Amino acid sequence: MNSKNNIRNNCDTGETPPRRNFLKTAAVGAAFAGAMLMGAGQAQAATTWKIQSVWDAGTVGYDLFEEWCNSIKEKSNGELIFKPYPAKAVAADNNALFDAVRNGVLQGMNPFTLYWSGKIPASVFLSSYPAGPDQPHQWDTMFYSLGMLEKTREIYEKYGLFYVGPIQHDANIIHSKKPVNSLDDLKGMKIRVPGGMVAEVFQQFGVSTVSLPGSDIFPALEKGTIDAADYVGPAVNYELGFSQVTDYIIFGPPGVMSIYQPVDLMDLTVNLRAWKALDPKLQQLVEDEVRNYSQKHYLTIQKRNIEAMEKFRADGDQVTRLSQSDLEEFRRAAIPIWYNWANKDEDAKAIFDMQLEYMMNETVGYVDEEDLKAAGVK
């Protein structure tokens, strides 16, 4: 009886009965918990991209790449995560890497752009080539000021890919068992170089060229099955032990480490569907970050190169240099081969035409009409 009176009195006075009060409190608690769960779900909805580099784990290149990828989460306020993988971790070789990004198994890759010359002929002109533009700033100028980035993206879209931007790496250099002080000294040598245009130009000087994967270079030099080998720059080449199996390092004239691949560019390329699904503000972040990373990557490797050259010298290696006249002769031999590659398809020609116009501009002055006539292309 008393409890009924209490209920009635509560109703009469407008006070909430204890059971209703409990249900109201429970409902508010449930709503709050639901909001918390929803918030947690939103926090977990970050976009994650798996990106494989062609750098081997443990090299300065991969250390830099991994550090950069790991920084993206904080820079994007948790909205975008780059999960890095070293060479062969997901895709076992370059062909598999290309297909894995096209098919969305990986969302991105960090390759040497030249790797796709057999798939995308224009890519042979998206990284330095024999006696072409030989300064990093020239490549940044062509990409970011002269329209080459936009044209490259247009080409890559045909393959279901989005080319985010170039990443400055280094010059490629040759380590030799014997000194090379002129182009004449190359005659009769067996040298590991990249295929394609590079091999074709070296063959003009009596070189027997060999294509080997990076992991096979050291044993080939050690056994003497090749006389010399190109690979990347001093920092990584020292890590790979080249000082143990060669005595000489071939450079170009002062200021030019390499006459055949002086600006060996890497890039960030991503799956086109993944790129289009990304919020525009995150797209802009990624583009900006690639440019920032390019500078850091390049400058860090240049510092390591200086340190590595001291180590090469301490191990007894000597630098030999080709002359400016050698470089000019090399360019004359290369020009017809430039045109051969430019004529492979309309995209390759479009990129090359941009570059030739730049090289013939007097601010650069690498090539003039007389050079083209002498090479038989005019």
261 annotated to a ligand binding site: yes
Per-residue b or e along 253-277, where b marks 16 or more CB atoms closer than 10 Å to that residue's CB: eeebbbbbbbbbbbbbbbbbebbee
H helices present in the chain, as ranges: 2-13, 18-43, 60-75, 94-103, 136-144, 148-157, 196-203, 217-223, 234-239, 272-277, 280-314, 324-342, 346-360, 369-374
Beta pairing class for 228-230 and 47-53: unpaired
Neighbours of 17 (CB within 10 A): 12
Neighbours of 38 (CB within 10 A): 10
Residues 6+ apart with CB under 8 A from 30: none
129 annotated to a ligand binding site: no
Instruction: Print the SS3 string covering 181-209.
Output: CCHHHHCCCEEECCCHHHHHHHHCCCCEE
What's the rounded Cα separation, in Å, for the pair 15 and 243?
A: 89
138 annotated to a ligand binding site: no
144 annotated to a ligand binding site: no
110 annotated to a ligand binding site: no
Give the annotated binding-site residues for substrate.
Answer: 172, 192, 230, 261
Give the annotated binding-site residues for Na(+).
Answer: 231
Give the annotated binding-site residues.
Answer: 172, 192, 230-231, 261
